[in-house]
Structure 1
Amino acid sequence: MDLYIFCRMVLQQKALILLVTVVVAALASAYAFLVRPEYQVSSVLRPAAINELDALNRSEIYQLPSGDALIKVGASLESYETRLGFFRANQKLFKNFERPGRTLEQSFEEFNYNSIKLVVPDAKNAGSLNAYIKLVMNYPEGVAGVAILNGFVQYAIESQRQQIAADMEVIVRNRLSELAGRLDSARSSYVTDKAAKIAKLTEEDNLKRAQLQDELKALRAQLKNQRADQIAQLNEAIGIAKSLGIQKPSTPSSLGGAGVQGSQPVMRTEVNNQQIPLYFMGVDALLAERAALLQRKSDDFTEARIAQIAKELQLLQANREVEVLNQRKNEDLFLSGVQPLRAEEVRLRNLNVDMSGLKLVTIDKKAIDPLGPVKPKKMLLIIIGIVFGLMLGLVAAFVRGTDQSRRENSSDTTLLPHSSIPAKKALLSNVEAL
């Protein structure tokens, strides 16, 4: 019975319901067609091919796998500094984000917070097939969203490329400085070793020269003493020879047979294993020998070792090895163990650190002009407006119908007699129940 009364109220108030529905639907339609449309574009980045980063990785200076390169570019895309730099470098593209009374940074904050979102795959499902970075941008009508997004992607890649180039330059410069330090250390060590070697050779020559001179002095003193001893022996022998009357050289046997008489010839044979005394040489020979010894000014010729010492002293006057060491002009040629350092230095100096052609990531999908706005969804808004208007109209119809019923019941009770008060209360209770 209540449902019947409600349906009767709806039929009675259908004009009101239709009016409310039309008004609300019109308002929703006006909002859908008058609100500023919002568009959405996206760009997808994936890891670069292995051969794109091969030259960089083979440099043995900077190792950058393709997955790490994608992460670096993603960090650059997410970086506040990179976004602000792109915003400042391309202010013409962001005219629609500027508002009176706002600074450049405030306008950028609105763009950065509401417009660009970075989407990455779930870490649980991360893999070579799912490695990507998606950049989504929402922008109002009148904004060059495609140009902004594609330009921002290129700006972030270029920024990261320049960062890698700067890192490589610093690494190369540091390694060249390290190599130069090691070469300087090798040169210093070589100079020290060379000076030590020259000092050692000079010291050895001085020591040997002093030893030879001492030996020469000792030999000459020895020869002089031997000559003096020999002169003394000759003086003694001369005295003996004079006392024996040996004027000419003789032998002990001939001296013994001087007193034998007879005319027959005699042949004497002498066998003696002892040295014949010096006085048997005769006075004449001994005097001649003593005179020669007294006139001798140097005894050097009597000792072969003295000539050998003179030869060695002559050789020690100049050390040819020391002269060669001092005459070296390009001493870097004689450094030991520096060939790998020089080869590495040449390689680093000839290394191409130009990263302008380096492909860090692959742009799998560039931003293109969207087919339509993502906001507002006009048909959905109109449908929602109709449904909401219909519901609001039903509520208004029910409220109006209930109010009218109460008024009618109140007017009916005023016309009944006093005796029918119980009936009047019963009627009011029925109305209230309705």
Structure 2
Amino acid sequence: MSSSFRAPPVPSSGEIDLVALFNIVWRQKKLLAAVTACVGLLAAAYAFLATPEYQVSTVLRPAALNELDALNRSEVYQLPPPDALLKVGASLESYDTRLAFFRANQNLFKEFERPGRTLEQSFEEFNRNSIKLVLPDASKKDSLSAFIRLDMNYPKGIDGVSILNGFVDYAIANEREQIAADLKVIVKNRLNELEGRYDSARKNYDIEKEAKIASLQEADATRRAQLQDELKALRVQLKTHRGDRMAQLNEAIGIAKSLGIQKPATPSSLGESMRSGASSVMRTEINNQQIPLYFMGVEALKAELTALQQRKTDDFTEGRIAQIAKELQMLATNREIEVLNRRENEDIFLAGVQPIRAEMTRLNNLNIDMSRLKLVTIDQQALEPLSPVKPNRPLVVLIGLFLGAILAVFIALARHAFRSSDNKDVQQVSLVQASLPNPSEGVQRELSKS
């Protein structure tokens, strides 16, 4: 028994025949239309049944110069409009500010709450997926001015306009309160510094005043001691002069007694009296020499000696003593010290504190209405959107139809390939059966032989 087997020829690999593929797909156009329609219906169902998602935006720009003029003219806190915009932007981006607004307005965020979630977890979902801060691109030089845009995406059923506008107002108010607190601290610190300088000036004045009083008292004490020493020396000197005068008088009295001069006389008159028989003649004597003291006569000399012996003080004989007494009397009270001690408002005598007092008065009277301080300009407030941003129904339907068509073509090609493989398997089985001998024919052949 012999058998032969022929395998079907394998088609050689070559370029894809697009016409053939198109014909294969087109022959299954009903399947193509059905799959495309089904996928399109699913996409349309999603587009019309999915929860719409809306988007709102608000734009902030720097405030005008006159809005911050009162704050900047205070010379305490400098805040140019661009810096104010950056401060508000930092507050809008701050996690703490957003969480504080979330906690303060929980009635606006009820839709974000989920069972089994904490308040912070619900806020984290909102903060991560719903709100976004957009800054101008620094690389682009065609931007007319700085701005900050805040975008918020939210599902249907949430008052996104109120949330976004309320959050912007909350951030601006929060930053305004922070600036007011900073201004208050700066003013307080500046006043403390000025008060410290003022107290230092007052202490320096007190020290200078005490030093001056002490210097005046020391000068008075020194002068008083000098005058008293001079007075004491003068009295000793006058006493010595009196003793010397008394000794001279005693010596002159002895000489006058020995010469018999009882009355005041002159040398010429004394010579004439010694001559006998002299007639009474009046003479005029001119002499440039001092006449000895004994010519005063015993009577005059004794009278002077008695007076000197009975003298109790010699102060009246020296004019300087009266002058010293006058100076000592004036030193008894220092009027300059009295005036210094009687000063009631000593602050007016402080040197160099007029600018400090003027600055303290200015800072104490500094009154900036922070409630009217406009940090930024809201160029665009959040408005109720006219249509949702997600899902884009026409686009979703078109994408669904496109994907459905691709899926339908893939299914059609796969179906054709599957059918082609089945046909090849049937052909191969037929060829194999044809190549094998027929068992019935062999039986008949054997029977005929027998």
TM range (shorter): over 0.9
Shift of 1:295: 1.1
Counterpart for residue 293 of structure 1: 308
* Identity over aligned pairs, percent: 66
The answer to whether structure 1 residue 14 and structure 2 residue 29 are counterparts is yes
Question: Quick one: structure 1 residues 197 and 15, their matched pair in 2 at CA, closer, same or farther if it must change by over 3 Å?
Answer: same
Match status 1:337 vs 2:352: yes
Query: What is the letter of the counterpart of residue 186 of structure 1?
Result: A
After the TM superposition, which residues 136-285 of structure 1 pair with which residues of structure 2 at under 5 Å, given as runs?
Answer: 136-261=151-276, 266-285=281-300
Partner residue of 2:364? Answer: 349
Structure 1 residues 293 and 172, CA gap change in structure 2 (3 angstroms) = same
Aligned length, in residue pairs: 421
The one-letter amino acid of 1:77's match is L
Relative distance call for 1:165 and 1:306 in structure 2 (3 A) is same
Contact 2:265–2:295 (Cα < 8 Å) also in 1? yes
Residues 261 and 295 in structure 2, CA contact (< 8 A), matched pair in contact too? yes
**What RMSD over aligned residues (CA atoms) do the two structures have, in Å?**
2.0
CA distance in 1, matches of 2:27, 2:235: 159
Question: 1:425 aligns to what?
Answer: none
Query: Amino acid of the residue matched to residue 337 of structure 2?
Result: V
CA distance in 1, matches of 2:24, 2:142: 64
**Alignment TM-score, normalising by the size of structure 2:** 0.89
Alpha carbons 2:68, 2:81 under 8 Å: kept: yes
CA gap 1:107/1:206 in 2 versus in 1, 3 angstroms? same
Residues 238-272 of structure 1 deviation map (CA, whole Å, 9 limit, x = unaligned): 11111111111110111112233556664544332
Partner SS for 2:139: helix
Residues 168 and 353, structure 1, Cα contact 8 Å, conserved in 2: no
Change (3 A) 1:232 1:361: same
CA deviations on 1:213-252 (whole Å, 9 max, x unpaired) are 1111111111111111111111111111111111111101
Q: Please report how far the alpha carbon of residue 4 of structure 1 lies from its aligned counterpart in structure 2 after TM superposition.
A: 4.4
1:46 and 2:56 correspond: no
Matched, 1:75 2:78: no
Kept in 1: contact 2:272–2:278 (CA 8 A): no
Determine helix, strand or coil for the equivalent of 1:185: helix
Mapped to 2, the partners of 1:417 and 1:200 lie a distance apart of 142
Change (3 A) 1:12 1:249: same
1:414 is displaced (CA, Å) by: 5.6
- Map Cα deviations across residues 101-128 of structure 1 (whole Å, 9 max, x no partner): 1111100100000111111112233688
Gaps of 5+ in 1: 422-434
**1:193 shift after superposition:** 1.1
What amino acid does structure 1 have at the position aligned with 2:224? R
Tell me the amino acid that sits aligned with residue 202 of structure 2: R
> Conserved in 1, the CA contact under 8 Å of 2:68 and 2:80?
yes
Question: What amino acid maps onto 2:303 in structure 1?
Answer: A
Partner of 2:378 in structure 1?
Answer: 363
1:129 Cα deviation from its structure 2 partner = 2.5
8 A contact 1:13–1:401 mirrored in 2: no
Aligned to 2:119: 104
2:70–2:368 CA contact under 8 A, matched in 1: no
SS in 1 for 2:371: coil
Partner of 2:46: 31
Q: Structure 1 pair 288/30, CA: closer, same or farther in 2 (3 Å)?
A: same
1:379 matched residue in structure 2: 394
Deviation at 1:411, TM superposition (A): 4.4
Match for residue 424 of structure 1?
none
Q: Which residue of 2 aligns with 1:94?
A: 109
Mapped to 1, the partners of 2:434 and 2:212 lie a distance apart of: 147
2:340 maps to 1:325: yes
**Structure 1 residues 333 and 7: CA distance shift in structure 2, 3 A:** closer
Q: C-alpha displacement at 1:415, in angstroms? A: 5.8
In the alignment, residue 42 of structure 2 is paired with which amino acid?
Answer: L
- CA deviations on 1:132-164 (whole Å, 9 max, x unpaired) are 111111111111111111111111111111111
Taking the aligned partners of 1:417 and 1:303, their CA distance within structure 2 comes to: 174
Shift of 1:387: 1.2
Change in Cα spacing, 1:305 to 1:415, as seen in structure 2 (3 Å) is closer
- What amino acid sits opposite 2:206 in the alignment? V
Separation in structure 2 between the aligned mates of residue 50 and residue 270 of structure 1, nearest angstrom:
112
Q: 1:152 to 1:180 in 2, by over 3 A?
A: same
Opposite residue 178 of structure 2, the aligned amino acid is Q
| 1:129 counterpart SS class | coil
Contact 1:169 1:353 survives alignment (8 Å): no
The aligned counterpart of 2:148 is: 133
TM-score, normalised to structure 1, is 0.92
Q: Tell me how far 1:5 sits from its aligned partner.
A: 3.7
**Distance of 1:196 and 1:294 partners within structure 2:** 51
Instruction: Please tell me whether the aligned partners of residues 209 and 316 of structure 1 are also in contact (alpha carbons under 8 angstroms).
Output: yes
Amino acid in structure 1 at the alignment position of 2:331 = L
Amino acid at match of 2:366: L
CA contact (8 A) 2:234 2:321 kept: yes
Judge conservation of contact 1:165–1:353 (CA < 8 Å) in 2: no
SS at structure 1 position matched to 2:273? coil
Paired AA for residue 211 in structure 2: A
2:132 partner SS = strand
**Number of the residue aligned with 1:394:** 409
The one-letter amino acid of 1:8's match is: N
Q: Aligned partner of 1:155: which letter?
A: Y
Shift of 1:8: 3.3
